[in-house]
């Protein structure tokens, strides 16, 4: 069977509270082909939660879409897969790596990934019921010993996973600290299926490092793309990449947030958008008054006034800082 992803693919990870349709549209404008929906809770989907069901919405221009499911209850997973079978998307991913407490307390995500037998039982239910191509996402289980991670990885491959994404940090480290490339490389060497490297990619240098040290030609990016859809353009062609100007940043930010307002409605759209806006501003030299104003965005008129502040550009101190750090991640072209 053909690989799910072509060689050199760069994948946008499923990010709860982020990778909705407007977010994916923004990433696609800068060259991202392989996008996932937000992570979907099996229980919420099984019980017909309208907000959860909407997460599977596919935009008219989305030529490729992945869906990620998280859960640990057999009956709810079974019902969720039956519902997902009614939807059109390209691959179903099972999450065995999410470390956040609200997932952990349900025995799902990374907690389930630490329970080999039960993790495989859940995946086998999905395999039996799903009509979609299947893959899984895991974390390494030990920073020094590859065997626990290899047992999980091989078990998933034997159970029918066509690809496996490996985040190179243990559950307790969440999203910080070093990425253990050697553990990802061990999985890559041991499996015949496609292995996708994940963890710590936020620019061309870290992208080159994870590829070289894991021997994976496909990489998944997550937090590095928050507020930075230009990352996909940078990773695809680092030698010719030119960072966005302050005006280009403002244009994409405004387009992204107005799409969110259209998608969710004014009040909800602006409330959900606040963290997205702060991601665009983070690390780009915008003054505190601009960031503080985000908390008061309640109406479209507020957002229009706010964009006036953004279009004033970053501080003079940032411009000076860039002269000393010309290769900084997330930089603007000044």
The 10s digit of each residue's pLDDT in 263-284 is: 999 999 999 999 999 999 999 9
In angstroms, the CA 46 to CA 106 distance is 15
Last residue of a domain, one of 236, 255, 284: 236
- The model's pLDDT over 220-261, given as tens digits with 9 standing for 90+, comes to 999 999 999 999 999 999 999 999 999 999 999 999 999 999
Mean local confidence (pLDDT), 114-127:
97
Q: Note whether residue 3 is domain-resident.
A: no
Q: Enumerate residues 6+ apart whose C-beta is below 8 A from 253.
A: 277, 280, 307, 310
* 155: CATH: 3.20.20.70
Span 134-160, average pLDDT: 97
The domain that holds 262 is classified in CATH as 1.10.1200
In a domain, 174, yes or no: yes
Nearest one of 27, 60, 16 to 252, comparing CA atoms: 27
Over residues 175-191, the mean pLDDT reads: 95
Residue pair 160/128 in contact by the 8 Å Cβ criterion: no
The mean predicted confidence, pLDDT, of the chain is 95
75 has a pLDDT exceeding 90: yes
Task: Give the helix ranges, DSSP H, for the chain.
Answer: 21-29, 42-46, 50-54, 74-84, 101-104, 110-113, 116-129, 147-158, 181-190, 204-214, 230-236, 246-264, 266-281, 288-293, 300-310, 316-324
- Pairwise CA distance, residues 75 & 72, whole Å: 9
List the one residue out of 88, 50, 97, 48 whose CA is nearest residue 69: 97
Q: How many domains does the chain have?
A: 2
pLDDT of residue 328: 86
1 pLDDT band, cuts 50/70/90, is low
Q: Which of 251, 249, 302 is nearest to 274 (CA)?
A: 302
Q: What is the pLDDT of residue 49?
A: 82
Q: What is the pTM of this model?
A: 0.95
What local confidence, expressed as pLDDT, does residue 200 receive? 94
Task: Answer yes or no: do 117 and 231 share one domain.
Answer: yes
Query: Of the residues 98, 122, 135, 216, which is catalytic?
Result: 98
Percent of the chain with pLDDT over 70: 100
Residues forming beta bridges with residue 35, ordered by sequence position:
12, 65
**Within-domain flag for 181:** yes
164 & 279 share domain: no
Q: Of 208, 236, 264, at which residue does a domain stop?
A: 236
pLDDT for 329 equals: 87
pLDDT tens sequence across 24-41:
999 999 999 999 999 999
pLDDT at 2: 86
Whole-number pLDDT of residue 301: 96
How sure is the predictor about 323, in pLDDT bands with cuts at 50, 70 and 90?
confident
Query: In terms of residue numbers, what domain contains 309?
Result: 246-317
135 flagged as catalytic: no
196 lies in the same domain as 308: no
């Amino acid at each position: 069977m053909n690989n799910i992803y072509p060689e050199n693919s760069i994948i946008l990870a499923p990010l709860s509270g982020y990778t909705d349709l407007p977010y994916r549209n923004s990433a696609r404008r800068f060259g991202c082909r392989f996008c996932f929906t937000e992570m979907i809770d099996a229980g919420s989907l099984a019980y017909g939660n309208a907000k959860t069901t909407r997460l599977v919405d596919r935009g008219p221009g989305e030529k490729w879409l992945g869906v990620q499911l998280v859960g640990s209850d057999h009956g709810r997973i079974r019902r969720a897969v039956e519902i997902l079978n009614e939807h059109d998307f390209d691959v179903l991913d099972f999450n065995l790596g999410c470390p956040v407490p609200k997932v952990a307390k349900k025995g799902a995500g990374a907690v389930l990934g630490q329970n080999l037998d039960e993790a495989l039982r859940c995946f086998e239910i999905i395999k039996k019921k799903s009509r979609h191509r299947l893959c899984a996402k895991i974390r390494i289980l030990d920073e020094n010993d590859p065997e626990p991670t290899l047992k999980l990885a091989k078990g998933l491959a034997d159970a029918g996973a066509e690809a496996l994404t490996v985040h190179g940090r243990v559950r307790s480290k969440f999203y910080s600290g070093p990425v253990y490339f050697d553990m990802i490389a061990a999985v890559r060497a041991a499996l015949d299926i496609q292995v996708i490297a994940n963890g710590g990619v936020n620019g061309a240098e870290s992208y080159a490092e994870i590829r070289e040290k894991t021997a994976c030609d496909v990489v998944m990016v997550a937090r590095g793309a928050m507020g930075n859809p230009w990352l996909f353009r940078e990773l695809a062609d680092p030698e010719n990449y030119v960072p966005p100007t302050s005006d280009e940043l403002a244009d994409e930010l405004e387009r992204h947030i107005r799409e969110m307002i259209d998608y969710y409605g004014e009040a909800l759209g602006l409330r959900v958008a606040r963290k997205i806006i702060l991601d665009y501003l983070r690390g780009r030299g915008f003054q505190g008054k601009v960031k503080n104003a985000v908390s008061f965005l309640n109406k479209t008129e507020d957002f229009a006034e706010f964009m006036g502040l953004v279009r004033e550009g970053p501080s003079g101190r940032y411009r000076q800082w860039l002269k000393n750090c010309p290769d900084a991640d997330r930089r603007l072209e000044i």
